[in-house]
Amino acid sequence: MSHTAERKEKNCLNCGTIVQGRYCQNCGQENIVPKETFWHMFTHFFYDITHFDTSFFHTIHHLILRPGFLSQEYMIGRRASYPHPIKMYVFSSALFFLLFFSLFKPGDAEDINTDLPLDSTQRAVYLISLQNRLKKDTGNTILQEKFARAKDSSKILKVSDTLTKKPENFSINFGDKDYKTFAVYDSVQQTLPPAERNGWLSRRIIKRGIEINNKYKDNPDEAITKLFGVFFHRLPYLLFVSLPLFALILKLVYVRRKQYYYADHGVFTIHLYVFSFILLMVVFGIDKLKEITGWKFMEFITAVLFIWLVSYLYVAMRKFYKQGWFKTFVKFLLVSLLSLLMMVLLFVIFLIFSVANI
């Protein structure tokens, strides 16, 4: 309810019905003075946000400690006491990816440890590796120089010194052959019978590959950095697309349970994803704390949380769908396998789209 003054007139400004109280019994609009100050708008917005946050945090303990409970409550119609599943997903995913993108960056994988010195154990392993390579290629002067440098304990040896040289040229291939230019590709297509030529989509994909190869052929580092950057920022979309597909898997697995509609499986999936977001945020926090303090027992806590994440699905399925432990376990394994295949397929599709957009 807003704090704006109620109108003296009792006709609803939205539908014209004579209002009996503060709210119209026909359309639900609040019968208040239509003109409001900017401050009223701001406070109303702030109240809505904080009210939702409060209800969300008051609901977390049900979500975490009672797997399947919120989905069951929603299905039987008890909905006013809990935030809407869609709002829960939007809020939790926004928090999750805000934390995720602040902790992890696309270039982290390339930059980690390259300038750190090797310790004695790492140096010994590196020397053995060079020795084995020299036995197979005794005349390799580059390996000889690397071996001599590694043996000299007076010199600091960094991780970057042990890395092999990156390829000089960057190349991807969307077709069965490696075409260097559009002209070469078009000429090859012209020599083929019409029935064997690539269709419109295949031509677009292959020509995009040629364009990317020519653009980054002398700068593979830039291509890899951009690829990781584009794919990295598509992760929220990947998860969002996976949500209805996961619900579809549940629908197929429980196809004989006619009382569950696709929307019910969708609500169950949303609650599962929200729980996953919350648990992963806790894992990120523990990992950061371990990095700061060096406490090794944090690794055990992380392992326990991941076991909890996997077992949560089984417990939630059993409580929500109300089947025996063995039947639920078989369906749990089937859902896990199908969802893994689904995620791998989405990963490949999004990676291809990322390659096409670098």
- Tens digit of each residue's pLDDT (9 = 90 or more) over 183-217: 888 888 888 888 888 888 788 888 877 887 777 77
Q: Any bridge partners for residue 30, and if so which?
A: 23
Q: List CB contacts of 115: < 8 A, sequence separation 6 or more.
A: 158, 159, 160
* Percent of the chain residues topping a pLDDT of 70: 82
Enumerate helices (H) and strands (E) in the chain, giving the number of each.
Answer: 14, 0
Residue 289, pLDDT above cutoff 70:
yes
Q: List phi, psi (to 5°) of 11.
A: -85, 130
DSSP code string of 13-59: TTT-PBPSSSB-TTT--B-B-S---HHHHHHHHHHHHHHHHHHHHHH
- Model confidence over 107-124: pLDDT tens digits? 554 444 555 677 777 777
Given a contact cutoff of 8 angstroms between Cβ atoms, the answer to whether 253 and 268 are in contact is: no
The structure tokens listed for 49 are 């946000």
How does 40-62 read in b/e, with b if 16+ C-beta sit within 10 Å?
A: eeeeeeeeeeeebeeebeebeee
Q: CA 290, CA 288: separation in Å to the nearest integer?
A: 5
Q: List phi, psi (to 5°) of 253.
A: -70, -35
Residue 1, pLDDT above cutoff 60:
no
Place of tokens 């052929």: 217
- Model confidence over 62-74: pLDDT tens digits? 899 999 999 999 8
Q: List CB contacts of 83: < 8 A, sequence separation 6 or more.
A: 52, 55, 56, 59, 91
Place of tokens 């590196």: 126
Position 80: which residue type?
Answer: A
Q: What is the mean pLDDT of the chain?
A: 81
Percent helix, percent strand, percent coil in the chain, to nearest 5:
70, 0, 30
Residue 46, pLDDT above cutoff 60:
no
Residue 237, pLDDT above cutoff 60:
yes
Q: CA 293, CA 243: separation in Å to the nearest integer?
A: 36
Position 275 scores a pLDDT of 95
Position 209 scores a pLDDT of 79
Position 18: which residue type?
Answer: I
User: What is the pLDDT averaged over residues 231-237?
Assistant: 86
Position 274 scores a pLDDT of 94
Position 53 scores a pLDDT of 60
Position 27 scores a pLDDT of 84
From residue 92, how far is each of 22, 52, 95 by CA, in Å?
Answer: 34, 12, 5
Report if pTM > 0.75.
Answer: no
Between 325 and 351, residue with greater pLDDT: 325
Position 112 scores a pLDDT of 47
